[in-house]
Amino acid sequence: MPTAIDLPPHVRDWIGDGLFQHVPSSVIVIDRELEVVAANSEFVRVFGEATGKHCYEAYKRRDRPCEGCMAIETFEDGEVRINDTRGIDKNGQPAHYVVHIVPVHNEEGKITHVIEMSYDVTESRFLQRRYNLLFERVPCYVAVIDRDYRVVRANELVRNTFGDSAGGHCYTMLKQSNERCADCPAMKTFADGGSYTSRQLGINKQGELTAYVVSTAPLSSSGRDFEHVIEMAVDVTESEQLSERLLREAQFRRRLTESAIDALVACEASGTINIFNPAAEQLFEVDALQVTGRKQIAEFLPDEFVRTVAAGGSSLQMPEAAVVNTKGETLPVRLSGTVLKEGDHVLGAAAFLQDLREVKRLEREKLDSERLAAVGSTVAQLAHGIKNILTGLEGGMYVIRSGIKKGSAERTNKGWDMLERNVQRITVLVRGFLSFSKGHTPKAVPSDPSRIAQDVIELYRDAAREAGVELIYEAERGIAQIDVDPEDIKTCLENLVSNAIDACQASNKEDQTVTVRVRERGSTVVYEVSDNGVGMDSEIKNKVFTTFFTTKGMGGTGLGLLVTRKIVQEHGGRVEMESVPEKGSVFRIELPRQRLPAPANQKRDVGRDSAEGEHSHGQTGG
């Protein structure tokens, strides 16, 4: 290549002046005082007028020389220098430029001037920084490899995950392997310049398996004549683990719902059923395929649950609910429902239904056998107790005969009285027998529990007043109707109230009270009759429920409490008693709603009515 010296003079002249002005870079000439002697048009365009200013003023708006000024060094040693530095352009914007500092010697070889030629790299440096940042900080693995499969560059995430081993083979760095991978996508890219994607399993620096999906691309815009391939990979370890776990959990849940004994019906917020497990299929006798996604929960579940879901409630427990299956049968179930919510937003709802048919059947059987046992033992006791009356009858006959023999009218009359009393006792007994007769089940009708108690209170108001006993009535408000035989329950209360009044009269207290209470505790209707009368010692307490036991001499038959207990047992309930001698007694009739007999719709038969008519009045307590 020819030097400028060999050029024709006019070209050399142009270079001297024309080139200075037209070269596409900023050029200034400074003297030893660092003062700008000349500046070309490009320099003026970028940094503004400079001639007469100090270079540091022109480049950087400084008022003194820069530290480590390269121009000063060049003035001293005549070396050409290149400086990568920043200044401020004429608009006050930061400018990044590269300056070539070249000395100019005079004939004596002394450096008189320095020429600074600079080109602006602001834009390219900015881009470079941006791409570098992108390369380093992008949240995926990025590496550049050469044709030897050596890592030329790897970004921060690669270094942090797999360790910094630039210069090593990519398979060593990513997989701790000594051989190239069989399905290497980079190899394909090197072969044809295309882009390839594959899923790879690597080993991170902690020795854990790391799954990633990698894409390769040639590092050249044309896809030809390239020496490097860039690999970009996304870590899928966590999402793969997550989806695997989800899959397992979904399977577990599916198995759980499918093998559950309880029916599970779940719906979306719209009420459309989306889960209907095999137990639900069995309960409702319908195929899940005909239900899920097609039907509304309102078709299967109780209104109360549907309303709870619609109202955005949280959960619902219904120990005694009823559903209707596809055959129109009403089935007893225990329902436990949950509304699934995100904040206040209802996502859906699920209900577990326990089929109570078997439980109900067992309960009924138990109740029946209890009733039978009560009837059986009572009949046996009654039969046995007849002996007492027979003794009375025989006694009466004997005394009459004795009176006749001896001509004693007094004795004859006494015997007659004995006969009459015992015939009367037989009448009462027969009444008792009728109420105990086999096959008697209470004719339950929906009844107001407080009404029954009020009727009994009315019946005994006068008797209590005459006996000087205060009769108190306390009822909880709003107790719902119960399915009982109201006449039966009245009989029980009459027995208890009559006993309580007697117990008061037997004591010599001043303020004698009998209190009748009605209340409901946890779905159990409770009648309570308490008195502050004589009370009972343990011996009497043990015998009050047995046939013909009476503390009232001839005043009682010993049947009242027995009848009471039998009636209560027939209603699925129980009679409880507490008593303290000299303090008083409490008798409690407890009727759990779920054990009450089913209401009878048919009309009562005549025999039944007459039996009731008799034992509802003239009752005497035990």
Partner 1 sequence: MVKPEDKTVLVVDDEEDVRDYLATVLEDSGFSVVTAADGAEALERVESAIPDFISLDLVMPNRSGMKFLHDLRRKQEWRDIPVVVVTAHAHDDLGKADFVEIFSGKQLAGPSFYLEKPVNPDQYVGLICEKLGVQIEGKPDESDTGRLRSQLHDLIDQMESTQLSQLLRMLKLLG
CB of 529 to partner 1, least distance (A): 21
Q: Is 423 in the site for partner 1 (CB under 8 A)?
A: yes
Residue bearing tokens 């620096």? 205
Q: Is 404 in the site for partner 1 (CB under 8 A)?
A: no
Cβ burial 441-474 (10 Å sphere, 16+ → b, else e)? ebbbbebebbebbebbbebbeeebeebebebebe
Residue bearing tokens 């089935």? 331
Q: Is 390 in the site for partner 1 (CB under 8 A)?
A: yes
**CA distance linking residue 385 with residue 425, whole number of Å:** 11
Q: Is 418 in the site for partner 1 (CB under 8 A)?
A: yes
Q: Strands 584-592, 209-218: parallel, antiparallel or unpaired by DSSP?
A: unpaired
With beta carbons less than 8 A apart as the criterion, state whether 371 and 597 touch.
Answer: no
CB of 275 to partner 1, least distance (A): 56
CB of 384 to partner 1, least distance (A): 5
CB of 564 to partner 1, least distance (A): 18
Q: Which of 165, 198, 546, 616 binds partner 1 (CB under 8 A)?
A: 546
Length in residues, the chain: 622
With beta carbons less than 8 A apart as the criterion, state whether 369 and 299 touch.
Answer: no
**CA distance linking residue 97 with residue 87, whole number of Å:** 8
Q: Which of 155, 422, 491, 564 binds partner 1 (CB under 8 A)?
A: 422
**CA distance linking residue 153 with residue 237, whole number of Å:** 23
Furthest CA-CA distance within the chain:
189
Q: Is 575 in the site for partner 1 (CB under 8 A)?
A: no
Q: Which part of the chain contacts partner 1 (CB under 8 A), choosing from 255-263, 378-386, 492-500, 576-584?
A: 378-386
Q: Which of 58, 264, 283, 382 binds partner 1 (CB under 8 A)?
A: 382
CB of 392 to partner 1, least distance (A): 4
Cβ burial of 244 (10 Å; 0-12, 13-18, 19+) is exposed
Nearer to partner 1, 256 or 430 (CB): 430
Q: Which part of the chain contacts partner 1 (CB under 8 A), choosing from 116-124, 149-157, 417-425, 516-524?
A: 417-425
Q: Is 381 in the site for partner 1 (CB under 8 A)?
A: yes
Residue bearing tokens 């480590």? 68
Those residues with Cβ within 8 angstroms of residue 42's Cβ, 6 or more apart along the chain or in another chain: 23, 24, 25, 26, 27
With beta carbons less than 8 A apart as the criterion, state whether 414 and 396 touch.
Answer: no
Q: Which part of the chain contacts partner 1 (CB under 8 A), choosing from 59-67, 131-139, 153-161, 410-418?
A: 410-418
Q: Which of 133, 383, 409, 580 binds partner 1 (CB under 8 A)?
A: 383
Q: Is 429 in the site for partner 1 (CB under 8 A)?
A: yes
Q: Is 399 in the site for partner 1 (CB under 8 A)?
A: yes
**CA distance linking residue 382 with residue 547, whole number of Å:** 6
Extended strands (E) in 384-468: 445-447
Q: Is 610 in the site for partner 1 (CB under 8 A)?
A: no
Nearer to partner 1, 211 or 379 (CB): 379
**CA distance linking residue 219 with residue 232, whole number of Å:** 12
Neighbours of 306 (CB within 10 A): 20
Nearer to partner 1, 83 or 381 (CB): 381
Q: Which of 185, 385, 573, 597 binds partner 1 (CB under 8 A)?
A: 385
Nearer to partner 1, 283 or 418 (CB): 418
Q: Which part of the chain contacts partner 1 (CB under 8 A), choosing from 25-33, 44-52, 119-127, 537-545?
A: 537-545
Contact positions vs partner 1 (CB under 8 A): 379-388, 390-399, 401-402, 411, 414, 418, 421-423, 426-427, 429-430, 433-434, 437-438, 539-540, 543, 546-551, 553-554
